[in-house]
Amino acid sequence: MEMNKAPEGKWLKKNAWKYGFILRYPEDKTAITGIQYEPWHYRYIGMPHSAIMQEHHFVLEQYLDYLRKERVISVRVDGKKYEVSYYPVSKKMTIKVPTNRQYDISGNNRDGIIVTVYP
């Protein structure tokens, strides 16, 4: 049975974002991703990123563009407040991180750094 028709595949498509996963190449975004629909291709990006992408119906390319434009995003997921910041890569860059909260720093594989501050 095809992934997108199997009960498990349907459940995954509906719920994966709740666990930090995204469908990497959805059927309706091939013009943006440049990749054909792959119903089996999930990628872990973590919370709150998957929730933001779900809410805005973004694929990863759109989400990275959104972060680059907005620079700082505050979002609540399940009552918890997250802060996501984008920093363009430069030779003399400074990244501000909290001293009293957990955070992740990740490159965006393009041109910047994403800092996620957790509740």
User: Which CATH architecture best describes the domain 7-117?
Assistant: 2-Layer Sandwich (3.30)
User: pLDDT by residue (tens digit) across 72-95?
Assistant: 999 999 999 999 999 999 999 899
Quote the pLDDT of residue 14: 97
Quote the pLDDT of residue 4: 87
The verdict on whether 38 is a catalytic residue reads yes
Nearest residue to 84 (alpha-carbon basis) of 4, 5, 12, 58: 58
Domain boundaries, the chain: 7-117
User: pLDDT by residue (tens digit) across 12-32?
Assistant: 999 999 999 999 999 999 999
Per-residue pLDDT at 96 exceeds 90: no
User: Among residues 2, 8, 27, 38, which one is catalytic?
Assistant: 38
List Cα–Cα distances, 110 to 6, 10, 87, in angstroms: 35, 31, 12
- Please answer whether residues 81 and 75 qualify as being in contact, where contact means their C-beta atoms are separated by less than 8 angstroms: yes
Quote the pLDDT of residue 38: 96
